[in-house]
Structure 1
Amino acid sequence: MNTPAFLSALAPRRIVIFRALQLGDMLCAVPALRALREAAPDAHIALIGLPWAQSFVDRYADLVDELIVFPGAVGFPEQPESDAQLPDFFEQMRARRFDLAIQLHGSGGIANDLLFEFGARACAGFVQPEETVRQGCFIGWPDDLPESERYLALTSALGAPASDRQLSFPLDARDADEYAELVAVHGVEAERLVLIHPGAQLPSRRWPAERFAGVADNLAADGWQIAITGTVAETPLTGAVLGAMTSPALHLAGATSLGGLAALVAHARLVVCNDTGISHIAAAVRTSSVVIASGSDTRRWAPLDHARHLVLADYPACRPCSFRECPYGHPCALNVSVEQVVDAARTQLAHVLGAHRGAPHALHACGYPFTELPHAA
């Protein structure tokens, strides 16, 4: 029953989507969620996700109506791995009588086993090469596609083709107010602002703090205002970058909510970061970036706009990496030099200067509407 007419034939009124992942993963699914909403504008769409994702549902209220918190399961490392709460969870899901359950969590396998326990009238998702045939609309995991395109392949198979393939991150008045407070309290100058974001969830995905400091010092010497960003939990790391710098910088780790950080990114001229959530925010708000990709599968996770976003990566035999901590001396990170990142950053900033016809001190302050920021093409 895997045909383009699947969704229209089913005419689902209640849809549930399983994707219990972190911010960057969720942002990559936005184009697929948008396509699904366009194809089923009147359906109630629920997301089975991690507890933090309530903020995602609130921000994307036009795409998703409700969060159902996933209790965790063995094989799903984003939460404590236990099946203890699954029987009650499955009972609650079956009582909801969903018309369609969609597995957007990953390539298949145990995620599909869980999906069929939800008791929906029909199921859809991905299957791995050697996986048992699944009833419903299932496609083979498209391993050669970028992350966002994988999920659009599934929505297209469902009969929900994409009219817009771009990531998005809607910003609201609260985000604007938070940004204005950063300007007032910290002296943020949007016209020459460069963000340095040294964190990533996995240590194996982090470029060394002292190298971020070297990049920041070089760009500060060029006249750019440096702001170091991160979460409260990342303040030891951001503090290490600040401590290794010889130039002054704003230390904004823990100073913003997610929306405030996105507003800051939207006003910045450049983001220099690891391959992590903020790189997807930069792509969503169309701010140029330089991404140091350590360990990750760049074919899968690199931003689609290769002009606006430059990805620097080294490819030892152990890549892509499956380790939390690198056991091999971290060559994929150490083989990317400060000089390479500085050169890439200057290239991106030169495009920004060309777009705005001036040096850093001569650029006009932002003040742009959040929906259409005119960054460099």
Structure 2
Amino acid sequence: MTPLGTVESVAILRARTGLGDLLCGVPGLRALRARLPHAHITLITYAEMAPVVERMRTYVDELLPFPGWPGIPERPVDEQALPAYLADARARRFDLALQAYGANPAANEATAALGARRTGGFFITGTIEPDLAVHLPYPEHRHEIDRHLDLMAHLGAPPAGRALEFPLTPEDEASAAAVKPDGPYALVHPGATSPSRRWPAERFARVADELARRGLQVGITGVPSEAELVAEVRGHMRAPSLDLCGRTSLGGFAALLRDAELIVSNDTGAAHLAAAVDTPSVTLFLAGDPVRWAHPRPHAVVRVQVECNPCRHLVCPIDHRCAQRLEVAHVLAAVDAL
């Protein structure tokens, strides 16, 4: 019998704040649901990720908001909320709690603290005494999707495909329709959470101008906090463009993206959303690692190999050579290849 043989409730600690992180976990959740169609599956992550988790309702029954944990860097620990969270989790008596965060012993501590009947998931060799029937050494050099599929397969839940998913609603369609251009259009997404993953705005503008010259209307997208960056890109452009920064809900952006001819984006959530809605994309990898995060065609990777990439720096401590050596011509060649 596999470790999942008698499991009726599963808690999965996925304490991430990135859209791409959660989307790349969907294939693993799909495999688990196929293996345990009647189990109650709880995803533990930050409350702000509720709009993304809501799209996973086929595979996830509920979100248990995570107040943070010492050593998990995504958010400061909410010390006041932590006792009630732990009491709530322990009262549920999960059959199985899985550390699906990654290579961080603090995440194993946070998972063990849930008080489940059995605890498993990823671990780093030498940091804990693992139950090897339900623990898996963190597969460092695998794609993010495949890491989670590996874990589920180890538990006895075989893969059910690598495709990402982001279901759309009528409200999403209406949000997109309010700003959608008439005729063929492309999207350019110059933002990213960390500066080390952002290509210069002036070069994005030159790419956008070339897309316009090819006969496409061009929309520049971003979240509301990126309004200044979007304005900078548009300010460098010669061709007309649409300011789509913060103009839709997340679901509306997904619907807008689905109907685009393509998107040119930094390595950020928009690129993963493009994979989820089957829109061709050109993704610029600077500090980020395409081995871990890139998607297969019709999604193209553009990068230059330098001495130090990929790297974990949020801000480049030297001259950001991975960005400076990536030319507009490289990006346009990928656009034309698609």
Identify whether the pair has TM-score above 0.5, normalized to the shorter chain: yes
Does the 8 A contact of 2:306 with 2:321 survive in 1?
yes
Could you tell me which residue of structure 1 aligns to residue 306 of structure 2? 316
CA contact (8 A) 2:103 2:123 kept: yes
Aligned counterpart, 1:64: 60
Shift, 1:92, TM fit: 2.2
Q: Aligned equivalents of 1:72 and 1:114: distance in 2?
A: 9
Find the counterpart in structure 1 of residue 334 from structure 2.
Answer: 344
Give how far 1:54 is off.
1.4
Report if the CA contact (8 A) 1:291-1:309 is conserved: yes
| Alpha-carbon offset, residue 282 of structure 1 | 0.7
User: Structure 1 counterpart of 2:138, which letter?
Assistant: W
Deviation at 1:84, TM superposition (A): 5.8
Please say if 1:252 is aligned against 2:244.
yes
Q: Give distance in 1, aligned partners of 2:77 and 2:287.
A: 24
Distance in 1, Cα, partners of 2:306 & 2:161: 35
Other-structure match for 1:114: 110
The DSSP-based 3-state class of the residue aligned with 1:6 is coil
Q: Which residue of 1 aligns with 2:157?
A: 160
Tell me the SS of whatever aligns to 2:179: helix
Offset of 1:149 from its aligned partner?
0.4
Q: In 2, Cα distance between the equivalents of 1:42 and 1:19? A: 21
Q: Distance in 1 between matches of 2:79 and 2:13?
A: 16
Q: Secondary structure at the match of 2:330?
A: helix
1:85-164 equivalences under 5 Å are 85-135=81-131, 137-164=134-161
- Whether contact under 8 Å (1:74, 1:82) holds in the other structure is no
Alpha-carbon shift at residue 141 of structure 1 (Å): 1.1
> Which whole-Å deviations, capped at 9, do the CAs of 1:101-151 have from their partners, x for residues lacking one?
111111241111111110001112111133222235011111221110000
C-alpha separation in 2, matches of 1:331 and 1:30: 34
Aligned twin of 1:232: 224
Mapped pair 1:279 → 2:271: yes
Cα distance per residue 1:192-220 (max 9 Å; x no partner): 21100001011111011111001001111
Report the TM-score, using the length of structure 1 for normalisation. Answer: 0.86
Offset, 1:343: 1.7
Matched with 2:20 is 24
Quote the Cα distance in structure 1 between the aligned partners of 2:172 and 2:83: 40
Amino acid at match of 1:148: I
Q: Distance in 1 between matches of 2:104 and 2:313?
A: 21
Aligned to 1:270: 262
Greater CA drift, 29-38 or 107-116: 107-116
Cα deviation, residue 80, structure 1: 1.7
Post-superposition Cα deviations, 1:32-82, rounded to whole Å, max 9, x if no partner, equal 011111111111111111112211222221111111111112222221246
Fraction of identical pairs, as percent:
43
Does the 8 A contact of 2:69 with 2:106 survive in 1?
Answer: no
The residue identity in structure 2 corresponding to 1:285 is V
- Aligned residue for 1:182, secondary structure, equals coil
RMSD: 1.5
Task: Name the counterpart of 1:354.
Answer: none
**Equivalent in the alignment of 2:212:** 220
Residue 5 of structure 1 deviates from its aligned partner by: 1.0
- In structure 2, the gaps of 5 or more residues are none
**What displacement does 1:324 show?**
1.6
8 Å CA contact retained: 1:192, 1:224:
yes
How far apart are the structure 2 equivalents of 1:82 and 1:61?
Answer: 27
The runs of 5 or more residues in structure 1 that have no matched partner are 349-377
After superposing the two structures, state which structure 1 stretch, 314-323 or 206-215, moved more: 314-323
In the alignment, the residues of structure 1 paired with residue 304 and residue 137 of structure 2 have an alpha-carbon distance, to the nearest angstrom, of 29
Distance, in Å, in 2 between the alignment partners of 1:132 and 1:18 is 17
Q: Are the equivalent residues in 2 in contact too, given 1:74–1:83 (CA < 8 A)?
A: no
Q: CA offsets per residue over residues 230-275 of structure 1, 9 Å max, x none? A: 1111100111000110110011001011100000110001100000
Paired amino acid for 2:29: L
Question: In structure 2, what is the Cα distance between the partners aligned to 1:130 and 1:56?
Answer: 34
| AA of the residue aligned to 1:94 | R
1:137-216 alignment, distance < 5 Å: 137-183=134-180, 188-189=181-182, 191-216=183-208
Does the 8 Å contact 2:7/2:39 carry over to 1?
Answer: yes
Contact kept, 8 Å, 2:20 with 2:272, in 1: the verdict is yes
Q: In 1, are the aligned partners of 2:13 and 2:99 still within 8 Å (CA)?
A: yes
**Structure 1 segments of 4+ aligned residues over 4 angstroms from their partners:** 81-85
Secondary structure of the structure 1 residue equivalent to 2:188: strand
Residue identity opposite 2:65 in structure 1: V
